[in-house]
Amino acid sequence: MELKTKLFINGKWMDSSSKERFKVYDPSDNSVIAEVALGTKNDILEAIESAEKSFISGVWSGLTIFERSKILHKVSDLIGRYSNELAEIESKDVGKPIFESANIDIPSGAQTFEYFADMAVDICGETIPSPYKEVIDYTVREPLGVVGMIIPWNFPFLIACRKLATALAAGNTVVIKPASWAPLSTLMLGGIFKEAGLPDGVVNIVPGKGDIVGTILCEDPRVHEISFTGSTEVGHLVMSSCAKRLKGCGLELGGKSPALVLPDCNMQETIDGILFGVYLSQGECCCAATRLIVHKAVYEEFIERFVEGSKNIKIGMPLDKDTRMGPLVDKKHLEKVLGYIETGKKEGGKILCGGQRLKESPFDKGNFLSPTVFVNVGSKSRIAQEEIFGPVAVILKASSEEEMIKLANDTSYGLAASIWTKDIKASHRLASKIEAGTVWINLHNFVFPSGPYGGYKDSGIGRELGREGLLSLTQTKNVMIGLFEPGFKWY
């Protein structure tokens, strides 16, 4: 599968109107792996025009649901066919282990298209009871129009698939801005759509600077909805910009997800599950388990076993199949995470393992950071409150269920949480009190196409995935039919 580095507009690959390009780096050694066309104001306006014309023409929205479903199934099949190439591109671009790309990200992207290809046939209205027997009242679900999408760099392929599959199943057209740090796998989707037979102009992909491409997507009146995944800070700006046009926006933002460890948990299952929850994708995960709230009865045992597990994580090059944790995505992000570690030390936190950049060969040229575990941290400290977005866990001690809930909710975020217990009653009791969009019981970091995903509080607005996410990208029209006998008058 050929690497794509140009803009994808109206079914064609093209250079930037300015001819400018930007470099994409391999985070394992900071070498240049590609130079990608840098979209300009003119380019994003052309992409929006292409998407609008495509929508108005009905080349996609005018197809039957079954015709759209057939093409989306082809997209899923093609992702499976090119899975090896896509996984390698994703790992080189982002730094995540090929084990994750090949077994989680790419297959999940294919499953998402497959799921929404089937769900497309389930977009339907309902018959509404009327106070008059002479009036039939019903609703229909219609697509919104042009949907603008802004993709993050941590799961660029998978999140692009989630947003695209949902919007396309609903009959919308799309303009998508890939992440500047990791645009390559999103660009590859353009070729897949072309091969699958998606009509030209239905999906347009324009890499570019956020303050240009992203801002225009949010402000242009021809774009009817924005779907954004990223930081809470930028999410506030996106929502403010959309508000000026009364434009809808779905925001999946930051997180500081707690994992509550109860005394009766299966300790080995808990350690294994939380290690996955903390360190998946180097901790560069919105719903990562970054605040471990452990009951005092098992606090010492948990710390000992969790630190041992953290030390045993295989750090390596992204394309090594044995690697379980690769480099952070970019040098600037590495410095940001290291800054948080220094802040944690100054706040009185004690590091039990990790906390250092790996400087020995073969890691010396890359952005590698050892798994880091903090204890003796105050619940109001920055590292316990703010999203670090790296392989850093903070362990807090609690003496009761009530204290665990208080600590779990003591943050501005509310994306996800997990509860580790054998007690089914306790799991439901605690889940009902946690302020989060997703609560896992005895697992963490599992997201399925069929389940709605999104956050409470500063973690976002709206839901992606599932029936709820699909219907959020439609609008409802109420239709009434009068069956009054001839001669009916109101005057």
Please name which of 349, 394, 403, 348 lies closest in space to residue 371, comparing C-alpha atoms. Answer: 394
Residue 258 in tokens: 């707690």
Strand partners, 464: 453
Please say whether the beta carbons of 285 and 318 come within 8 A. Answer: no
Spatial separation of the C-alpha atoms in residues 88 and 318, rounded to whole Å:
9
Spatial separation of the C-alpha atoms in residues 43 and 28, rounded to whole Å:
32
Quick check: is 252 catalytic? yes
Question: Residues 286, 287, 387, 464: which is the catalytic one?
Answer: 286
For every residue of 412-437, DSSP letters joined together read SEESEEEEE-S-HHHHHHHHTT---S
Please say whether the beta carbons of 146 and 222 come within 8 A. Answer: yes
**Cα dihedral 465→469→470→476 (10° resolution):** 180
Total H helices, total E strands in the chain: 16, 22
Question: Residues 252, 284, 387, 464: which is the catalytic one?
Answer: 252
Count CA atoms within 13 Å of residue 361 on its CB side.
0
The amino acid occupying position 385 is Q
The β-bridge relationship of strands 289-295 and 257-261 is parallel
**Active site members:** 252, 286
